[in-house]
A and B are shown apart, each in its own frame.
Chain A
Amino acid sequence: MDGLAQALSGALRRIASGDASLGAIVLLSLEVSLAAVACATLAGLPLGAAIAVGRFPGRRTVVVLLNALMGLPPVVVGLFVYLMLSRAGPLGGLGFLFTPPAMVIAQAILVLPIIAALCRQAVEDAWIEYEEQLRSLGAGRLGAALTLVWDIRFSLLTAILAGLGRASAEVGAVMIVGGNIDGVTRVMTTTIALETSKGDLPLALSLGMVLIALVLALNALAQIVKDAAQRRYG
């Protein structure tokens, strides 16, 4: 109990003093996770929508697989991307390993199944309501699906936030492909891991509190946007 209280008070002092390197770490964390979620959204929404409205052999297997991939262990994704981007690997020539682009790639892979699977569920539910009318108007299956995605976009925000939560919380993938290099690939989660391992618990805790506060703020913002839009568009 003592240790926790000490860590907490030390943490608050740290945050109040406003460290400059802390600012850089927070900024990088946001850049990497937001970029990863953006890529995963661009790919995941059409993918989820296509599976939702598609009728093809093995569809049910694909749905189960997609849902299962939501639970991909971050450290496994990190390992896979590492092997791909290593100089000894197929994409080594890109020189992405131990740079932020590698971290974005790894997190995008991690987050893609979450966004795609949740989108698939949302579109499949909405399809029940919209299908007949859209087909009556002559929309092709895929075109109708994409129209639906745009129509239910505010519900899909929840899926995107789930992806953002996963990306900003994980440490396994970015640690392996980023290398936690000081000033280059060090993000909040890897810093928390490092400071914990150095025994500097107050700093680790203060970073943890900042990370949670950040994710809370992003979610609150998204909710405000969603409410405003719902009032406007019905």
Chain B
Amino acid sequence: MLRAFAALLLCANAHAQQTYITVASTTSTEQSGLFKHLLPIFEKKTAIQVRVVALGTGQALDMGRRGDADVVFVHARPLEEKFLAEGFGVRRYDVMYNDFVLIGPKNDPAKISGGKDVVEAFRRIKAAQTPFVSRGDRSGTHFAELEIWRAAGIDIKKEKGPWYRDTGQGMGPALNTAAGMDAYLLADRGTWLSFKNRASLAILVEGDSRLFNQYGIMLVSPMKHPSVKKESGQAFLDWLISPAGQKAIADYRIDGQQLFFPNAK
């Protein structure tokens, strides 16, 4: 039994030989394919392997709090500020933005298609009681969705009905669920563009300034967690906000369309 355990340890050491960092990020960045495009460029340049664990924003930040990640790369500003205030992050940088889009069935029973006001669209969905899929997983997208309900003056926790489907899933699975039940949902454009199982879904509302989606990155504080790989983590951070990294982000396209827009200062 001990011999098996020792073998496991040796195995683990073999993996540790190449320098690597663990980045806690979101399902929207992972499932849009951004990392598959970005990381090989960084690895070739620095020989640092970047291991991305994709969870919801809330979970990703919790991973940082536990010290299981070196860097967190998420998209919910208030949650990120809270993380910083608690002392778990060193410093926050803007990296890139994209927008959310309101997806729904092409036959649009709630009659919101083509509108520019996402808050009004939410009101109509609730009035028509058409199926709406929520991420429900403390992700950045979920957070944005809750903000819009708040702006519409609706206390969604109290006023939801059977039409509101709280799935507790990542962006991809939520899209699958919405496709399967012809429901409305809020998605980030990046995941939508790379999603392949659209069924009868389409973008119905976009362009509202409230749909702006900012991504931020932070190094987890080595003071809270001495095990954090601060040099390699900082190297990744620095590269992402450098002109080279920003260009790599802008270069990522699906069918000619750019998914994320770099805006590091």
B177 to chain A, nearest CB (A): 10
Residues 35-80 of B contacting A (Cβ, < 8 Å): 35-36, 39, 49, 51-54, 65-68
Cβ–Cβ < 8 Å partners of A17 in chain B: none
Tell me if B127 is interfacial: C-beta within 8 Å of chain A.
no
Cβ–Cβ < 8 Å partners of B27 in chain A: 197
Cβ–Cβ < 8 Å partners of B15 in chain A: 99-100, 184
Cβ contact within 8 Å between A95 and B66:
no
Tell me if B1 is interfacial: C-beta within 8 Å of chain A.
yes
A43-B1, A182-B35 as given contacts; A199 in contact with B53, CB under 8 Å: no
Cβ–Cβ < 8 Å partners of A96 in chain B: 8, 12
A128 to chain B, nearest CB (A): 29
Chain-A contact segment, one of B98-106, B128-136, B148-156, B194-202: B194-202
Cβ contact within 8 Å between A98 and B16:
no
How far is B15's CA from A17's CA once the two chains are assembled, in angstroms? 30
Question: On chain B, which size bracket covers the interface?
Answer: 35 or more
Cβ–Cβ < 8 Å partners of A196 in chain B: 172-173, 176
Q: Using a Cβ–Cβ cut-off of 8 Å, how many residues does chain A contribute to the interface with B? A: 32
How far is B194's CA from A84's CA once the two chains are assembled, in angstroms? 36
Cβ contact within 8 Å between B31 and A197:
yes
Cβ–Cβ < 8 Å partners of B196 in chain A: 198-201
How far is B176's CA from A200's CA once the two chains are assembled, in angstroms? 10
Cβ contact within 8 Å between B170 and A197:
yes
How far is B172's CA from A201's CA once the two chains are assembled, in angstroms? 12
Tell me if B112 is interfacial: C-beta within 8 Å of chain A.
no
Cβ contact within 8 Å between B8 and A88:
no
A99-B15, A196-B176, A198-B194 as given contacts; A182 in contact with B36, CB under 8 Å: yes
Q: Which residue of A lies closest to B174 (CB)?
A: A197
Residues 93-128 of A contacting B (Cβ, < 8 Å): 94-101, 104-105
Cβ contact within 8 Å between B53 and A98:
yes
Cβ–Cβ < 8 Å partners of A42 in chain B: 1, 4
Cβ contact within 8 Å between A198 and B67:
no
Tell me if B175 is interfacial: C-beta within 8 Å of chain A.
yes
Cβ contact within 8 Å between A38 and B172:
no
Cβ contact within 8 Å between A105 and B36:
no
- 5 nearest interchain CB pairs? A199-B197, A197-B172, A87-B67, A179-B53, A199-B196
